[in-house]
Amino acid sequence: MRINFIPFSFELDTVSLAGSCIWSLGLYIGLDSIKQWISDRLERWFNFAEGWMYTSAEEFEETRPAREAQNAFYASVFSIIPFLVAGALTNWAIDVSFGGSSWAIALGIMTCAICGLFALANQDYSDTEDED
């Protein structure tokens, strides 16, 4: 696919982009503990980074619940970025080693299905563990 901007143009390989996104989804679903760790660290950093913007402690404490909720949302959204990078690298490695994008997409779809089943089983186990 060719995308034209005013001063220049570049080509975007949509098959590699799709494969990278599929692998990112599979890794995001399967690596739940890493996802939570990244999201928690980002949320802590966002909460820390906002502290210098307030001059009064009263205003800082007054807006704390809204700011922390907003920072939790931003941390959740930005936690996707490392998985996009890992998915692109995984797609590239499979593309190079097997010699075709169809292998990368097929294995990515299988990874999504297996990681989804693993996440469902892990969620069911953690729910029954809390009841005891």
Spell out the domain ranges in the chain. Answer: 32-78, 80-124
CB neighbours of residue 29 within 10 Å = 20
Higher-confidence residue of 124 and 107: namely 107
Query: What pLDDT sits at residue 25?
Result: 94
**Residue 4 phi/psi, 5° resolution?**
-105, 125
Q: Which residues of 6-28 are buried (b: 16+ CB within 10 A; e: fewer)?
A: eeeeeeeeeebeebbbbbbbbbb
Residue 20 pLDDT exceeds 90:
yes
What is the tens place of the pLDDT at every residue in 45-99?
988 888 777 777 787 788 888 888 988 999 999 999 999 999 999 999 998 898 8
pLDDT at 5 over 80: no
- The pLDDT of residue 62 is 82
pLDDT value, residue 4: 60
- Average predicted confidence (pLDDT) for the chain: 84
